[in-house]
């Protein structure tokens, strides 16, 4: 059933994409300019709820000029497709995982590091700090897009069809879907699983047909994407807090008058606020549903062995991108201010104490 729904979504998506692209640049709806926003989540997901609020807000202020259109559920293609469409201006905005953006600007590598943030509080405070995010958000302007706000996507954890993951050794020999980013492949290699990069929309079928043994994501993937129908073990190893990023086409943003830009900026802040408010309850509800309706068992392993196995990636990244060190250090300050509160959460080691990796050794 799920597969049929997915096939229909793909068919509708292909038609939708052709229709959207053929109307590219047009002023529709009685002279109003369409503002197209694509994302890959379902309509009940906090991201979609927040974007609908954005639509309402912009149209309440600038509705005579702009018609905001939201395209959920990969109707405009995978995240990589949507980022490319946003680069060219065929689409004005899209939501992309920070992981995907790493392949467009290496600066984004930083927020993909495993065990970068010590706690959710440290993560939120760092992402709210313009000194942390602006140099990264603005780094893709030459590529035709810029980030306008971040969106909470919780903590990523491993989940599998049938193998409970209690320690990194349990991942050995398992094919685990990861997002299409070098950092995620490296992380999986270190942890001993076999990294299988693929787009989000393909994961359900891959799990069901046993092409992969598991994946890693926040709790919403179990319910909103149905992965909990197939995967029965979800293990809180807490390996990453990877934000989603709302990106906008530069030509569109630069074409706004100062007053319009101010209203759009208020709209971007609204997206961030609403999504974060919705997120807390959505995750609670997802956990409840996964446990009771889908029969998923939640596990709470010791996170330390996972963290220690991945820790070399911090010094590797700093060796490769030394310009990111000041931002990394700012994040460590937030980690000290908002340390992990429970044993499940992790504390990030200062970079000076990190073991020197082979990659870094080669650079010196
Ligand atoms: C999360 C995230 C998405 C991302 C997905 C993935 O759902 O919010 O932006 O696409 O993970 O694993 O690909």
Bridge pairing between strands 233-240 and 156-160: antiparallel
Helix (H, G, I), strand (E, B) or coil at 32: strand
pLDDT for position 341: 77
Q: Which residues pair with 34 in a beta bridge?
A: 67
pLDDT for position 24: 52
pLDDT in tens, the chain (364 residues): 444 444 444 455 566 666 666 655 456 546 899 999 999 999 999 999 999 999 999 999 999 999 999 999 999 999 999 999 999 999 999 999 999 999 999 999 999 999 999 999 999 999 999 999 999 999 999 999 999 999 999 999 999 999 999 999 999 999 999 999 999 999 999 999 999 999 999 999 999 999 999 999 999 999 999 999 999 999 999 999 999 999 999 999 999 999 999 999 999 999 999 999 999 999 999 999 999 999 999 999 999 999 999 999 999 999 999 999 999 999 999 999 999 976 544 444 444 444 333 333 332 2
99 lines ligand 1 (CB under 6 A): no
Indicate which atom in ligand 1 lies nearest the CA of residue 225. Answer: 7
Q: What are phi and psi of 281, to 5 degrees?
A: -70, -35
CA distances in angstroms from 76 to 8, 10, 92, 102, 362, listed in the order given = 14, 9, 12, 21, 42
Domains 2-154+242-286 and 156-241+296-363 share a fold: yes
Q: What are phi and psi of 210, to 5 degrees?
A: 65, 25
Helix (H, G, I), strand (E, B) or coil at 186: helix
pLDDT for position 16: 64
Helix (H, G, I), strand (E, B) or coil at 5: helix
pLDDT for position 3: 47
217 lines ligand 1 (CB under 6 A): yes
What CATH architecture is 2-154+242-286?
3-Layer(aba) Sandwich (3.40)
How far apart are alpha carbons 182 and 100 in whole angstroms?
10
Helix (H) or strand (E) holding 326: helix 325-337
Ligand 1 center to residue 64 CA distance, Å?
34
Nearest CA owner, ligand 1 atom 13? 200
Q: What are phi and psi of 147, to 5 degrees?
A: -85, 135
pLDDT for position 20: 67
Nearest CA owner, ligand 1 atom 8? 153
pLDDT for position 305: 98
* Token couple for 256: 């706004």
How far apart are alpha carbons 180 and 228 in whole angstroms?
22
Q: CB atoms < 10 A from the CB of 251, how many?
A: 12
Ligand 1 center to residue 174 CA distance, Å?
21
pLDDT for position 12: 52
Bridge pairing between strands 32-38 and 93-97: parallel
DSSP 143: G
- The b-or-e profile of 280-295 (16+ CB within 10 A means b, else e) is eebbeebbebbeeebe
pLDDT for position 361: 30
221 lines ligand 1 (CB under 6 A): yes
Map tokens 């889908």 to a residue: 294
In the chain, domain spans: 2-154+242-286, 156-241+296-363
Q: Which residues pair with 195 in a beta bridge?
A: 176
Closest alpha carbon to 303 in 237, 363, 218, 354: 237
Ligand 1 center to residue 97 CA distance, Å?
6
- CATH number of the 156-241+296-363 domain: 3.40.190.170
Among 46, 94, 112, 153, residue to substitute to test ligand 1 (most atoms within 8 Å of Cβ): 153
pLDDT for position 347: 45
């Amino acid at each position: 059933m799920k597969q049929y729904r997915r096939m229909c979504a793909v068919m509708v998506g292909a038609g939708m994409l052709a229709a959207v692209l053929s109307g590219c640049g047009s002023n529709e709806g009685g002279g109003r300019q369409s503002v197209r926003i694509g994302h890959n989540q379902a309509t009940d997901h906090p991201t979609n709820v927040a974007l609908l609020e954005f639509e309402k807000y912009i149209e309440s202020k600038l509705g005579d000029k702009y018609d905001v259109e939201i395209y959920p559920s990969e109707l405009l293609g995978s995240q990589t497709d949507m980022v490319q469409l946003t680069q060219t201006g065929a689409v004005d905005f899209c939501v992309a995982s920070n992981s995907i953006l790493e392949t467009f600007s290496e600066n984004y590598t930083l927020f993909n590091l495993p065990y970068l943030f010590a706690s959710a509080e440290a993560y939120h405070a760092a992402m709210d700090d313009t000194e942390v995010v602006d140099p990264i958000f603005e780094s893709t302007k030459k590529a035709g897009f810029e980030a306008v706000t971040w969106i909470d996507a919780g903590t990523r954890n491993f989940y599998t069809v049938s193998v409970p993951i209690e320690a990194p050794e349990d991942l050995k020999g398992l094919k685990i879907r990861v997002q299409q980013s070098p950092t995620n492949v490296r992380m999986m290699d270190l942890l001993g699983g076999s990294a299988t990069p693929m787009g989000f929309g393909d994961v359900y079928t891959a799990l069901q047909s046993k092409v992969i043994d598991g994946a890693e994501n926040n709790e919403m993937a179990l319910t909103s994407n149905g992965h909990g129908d197939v995967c029965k073990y979800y293990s809180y190893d807490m390996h990453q807090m990877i934000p989603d990023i709302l990106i906008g086409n530069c030509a569109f943003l630069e074409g706004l008058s100062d007053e319009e830009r101010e209203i759009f900026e208020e709209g971007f802040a609204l997206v961030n606020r609403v999504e974060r408010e919705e997120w807390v309850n959505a995750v609670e509800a997802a956990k409840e549903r996964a446990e009771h309706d889908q029969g998923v068992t939640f596990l709470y392993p010791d996170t330390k062995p996972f963290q220690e196995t991945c820790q070399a990636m911090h010094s590797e990244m700093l060796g490769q991108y030394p310009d990111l060190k000041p931002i990394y250090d700012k994040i460590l300050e937030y980690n000290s201010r908002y340390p992990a509160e429970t044993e499940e959460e992790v504390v990030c080691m200062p970079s000076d104490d990190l073991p020197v990796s082979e990659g870094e050794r080669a650079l010196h």
